[in-house]
Structure 1
């Protein structure tokens, strides 16, 4: 019998999680990197007796009347400028605006209020020296961030003057986590589990007293008057969602101009991986070199399906006998099957990994272990101890889809001319001679669907 590997220390867990975050972002965004034509410049800002790195992205044909200071998310612990540089570049190109991404120090090495002070002092420095960052002396300066970065942006707007606007993407505005959405989205499928939030909180803060500090929990501020206009962009399937609703309410009550754009059908974290948010269709099929397609003749259209709550439903159940990469995990008491796929795009590789609890093992127990120990999921997906075996595979036939419209949010991010039939300029696509009817964008629609059937 093999002994279980030693549990990760918190220090090692932080290191591994940061490494995985950078690898995942790099892979998911890799096809966007060559599309950026602007310039990247690295600088250091001296604050709080240390040097804070910043990255300045200047797009081609930049508008020097605006500048955006960006703070990345990651629970004040995990992510970095590197994980978020692609989305920063995308937004800078779309808005023709200089964006500056700040590498504030993170927990657990540097706990609250260190990271808050870093972000605040870097912002103060840029406000006082904005001409040296490539914009006019009269340029408007805004703050933007996602998740923890949105919390920093909102808090700094309470502290410093001369900030002209704020863009808050699925922010957390009360570290006590009391809004209803925290109870609504607890399943691991929503990514940001209670266990993960607990771990990030313990890594970023010294103790529970810090959670009620208004600098960290901006909803506890005594006043919300005279703040800059605020664009809030929550994700629909996110434990943090209702924080944005709560913050908009207190801002509205104080007379602050706000705009809410709810991104439907997405979970927390979607924002930093724009490489996955393509407005096109990719057909995925079973890889014929490894396994055969499921035969439609073998599909049982009235099979019993045992749900986690004990209910038995009638479903379409596909069947195939063949050889598959297979493994068992004794930590979770589950069986794992990896089904290789292929795409019309030869550069895209997919593997459909199925996890089946053993008999008498409750699904919610497996989910809780996966949520509390991210390294376990990494083991399952890494094909460790996998062997090829021949057996009967039964797979549920199902389809899921979601659609949301991005026109409003893109215009709120200052990409306005492209939607205006009089101002849009697409002469790089069509000539002025042929563009008599003024080519412009009417809508940007993002649609995603998953269709698992006998063909793929």
Structure 2
């Protein structure tokens, strides 16, 4: 870290943030956990006279030759086994492998090194008692985690020598935060702001001396030899991104087998698995959209209001064909004459009254290059906040044209693990992890409404590149940001 952490955080903020994290994941868990094809078992592990809760996910037809211990992210302060329940649920089911999710204690109530000791000692206990967790005594054990959980996984691999592999999703490996990506992604649109990182740091650590403890900052370890094979999965638009690059380099230099899979176009916190829904989960009136393990319900466009062969004008002057859905309806709308852009805020339908999610689009005039708009917004954070809020918006009837798009980047985890010579670890399944050029999984915007009213509406025609954001509108928190620059194949 480049400066001293601020004073002890207000615990009310911690409580409220934890509550929000639980709320936004509750609906997803409620929907998917009952579909888990196996058993969930709650147990506790005694660590220094403290009972640490764990959840054991045992799928049907489980392979007893392997086991994965999972540590959730959340800056060692927020999130829990519950917020990450869906992720572990799906991974265990897909891999036919027992996954154990650990509820280590968190700051500010329990600062470093308590949460590190909890994670390490639970891992040690499981390693020494494999058979009691449903696998063979010779079973291979891997560690996995996202963000802070990835940091824990990496660190424990240095301490305990019987780990067979590690999966590190957008991890933080040097708490001093000195890599270039921390300066590159400071804008609130990238979610993990310097202020948020300072707050989490002050909540999780006692003082700045803790930040240079190699248990917390694994890049400060004196040696990286003889570590287990490592899969690193950073997010492209993440302040933590360069930590993964740096960690891969020191592992490579030490002769450790590594694989890097950069998920392009996504911000920190993105960790999702596609195809979680079967066709029976879809109804004629709604579609379920999964975005970072959150469901959103939105109305549908009428099928007869889709132009299937519309021109889309790309940045390079190329014209592609795309299906454009269109509808006349009232939306929150604004214009900015300095940027020459239109802004529309499309609400998601939600049964959860504690949060309000909005899909916001910023559409430049066709004569204005999207990268010019991006540069201006990046240099003027206040302007970005203004555009993303409902400030200066008015309710207008729009003739709204939107591309129906599903933007994904998919990789096969099983193939990657085989490249890391972990063929026996995951061999009989294909687990898909999806990212997207638009920083959201399976973004499908569809509406259903009455027949078209008389004209007089403002045209909002997204037939050329645009920016989009998924926000919690009450607090104007950006969950995802991205840009649509060209139609996907088979759009």
What TM-score range do you get, normalising by the shorter chain?
0.5 to 0.7
Measure the CA separation in 2 of the matches of 1:433 and 1:323.
18
State the match for 1:110 in structure 2: 110
Per-residue Cα deviation, 1:33-74 (whole angstroms, up to 9, x for no partner): 343111000001111121100000001100111111111110
The more displaced of 292-301 and 103-112 is: 292-301
Q: 1:391 to 1:56 in 2, by over 3 A?
A: closer
Measure the CA separation in 2 of the matches of 1:148 and 1:237.
17
Contact 1:77 1:106 in 2 (8 A): yes
Contact 1:37 1:59 in 2 (8 A): yes
Indicate the structure whose relative CO is greater, using CA pairs within 8 Å and at least 6 residues apart. Answer: 2
Alignment equivalent of 2:393, drawn from 386, 410, 413: 386
Contact 2:95 2:428 in 1 (8 A): no
Deviation at 1:89? 1.5
Measure the CA separation in 2 of the matches of 1:176 and 1:397.
42
The more displaced of 199-208 and 158-167 is: 158-167
Contact 1:224 1:250 in 2 (8 A): yes
The more displaced of 307-316 and 91-100 is: 307-316
Contact 1:418 1:424 in 2 (8 A): no
* Root-mean-square deviation over aligned CA pairs: 11.9
Contact 1:145 1:169 in 2 (8 A): yes
Deviation at 1:329? 18
Per-residue Cα deviation, 1:383-404 (whole angstroms, up to 9, x for no partner): 9999979999999999998777
Q: 1:409 to 1:430 in 2, by over 3 A?
A: farther
Measure the CA separation in 2 of the matches of 1:405 and 1:152.
24
Deviation at 1:206? 0.6
Measure the CA separation in 2 of the matches of 1:29 and 1:320.
33
1:198 has 2:205 as partner: no
Measure the CA separation in 1 of the matches of 2:374 and 2:482.
42
The more displaced of 283-292 and 149-158 is: 283-292
Measure the CA separation in 1 of the matches of 2:474 and 2:348.
43
Per-residue Cα deviation, 1:80-122 (whole angstroms, up to 9, x for no partner): 0001111111111122111111100000110000000111111
Contact 1:290 1:340 in 2 (8 A): no
Measure the CA separation in 2 of the matches of 1:89 and 1:242.
29
The more displaced of 29-38 and 285-294 is: 285-294
SS at match of 1:322: strand
Q: 1:302 to 1:219 in 2, by over 3 A?
A: same
Q: Identify unmatched segments of 5+ residues in structure 2.
A: 275-282, 436-468
Q: 1:146 to 1:439 in 2, by over 3 A?
A: closer
Contact 1:303 1:315 in 2 (8 A): yes
Contact 2:58 2:99 in 1 (8 A): yes
Per-residue Cα deviation, 1:293-334 (whole angstroms, up to 9, x for no partner): 999999999999999999999999999998656999999999
The more displaced of 413-422 and 1-10 is: 1-10
Deviation at 1:339? 3.6
The more displaced of 224-233 and 57-66 is: 224-233
Q: Name the TM-score, length of structure 2 as normaliser.
A: 0.62
The more displaced of 90-99 and 301-310 is: 301-310
Contact 2:44 2:51 in 1 (8 A): yes
Contact 1:405 1:444 in 2 (8 A): no
Contact 1:406 1:443 in 2 (8 A): no
Contact 1:419 1:440 in 2 (8 A): no
The equivalences for 1:430-441 within 5 A come to: none
Deviation at 1:435? 52
Measure the CA separation in 2 of the matches of 1:45 and 1:71.
15
Per-residue Cα deviation, 1:225-272 (whole angstroms, up to 9, x for no partner): 121111111112211111111111111111112122222222211115
Runs of 4+ with deviation above 4 angstroms? 1-9, 28-31, 276-338, 341-350, 353-445
Q: Identify unmatched segments of 5+ residues in structure 1.
A: 446-454
Measure the CA separation in 1 of the matches of 2:476 and 2:106.
53
Q: Name the TM-score, length of structure 1 as normaliser.
A: 0.67
Measure the CA separation in 1 of the matches of 2:202 and 2:478.
55
Deviation at 1:179? 1.2
Contact 1:64 1:135 in 2 (8 A): yes
Contact 1:193 1:371 in 2 (8 A): no
Deviation at 1:166? 1.2
Q: 1:357 to 1:226 in 2, by over 3 A?
A: same
The more displaced of 89-98 and 113-122 is: 89-98
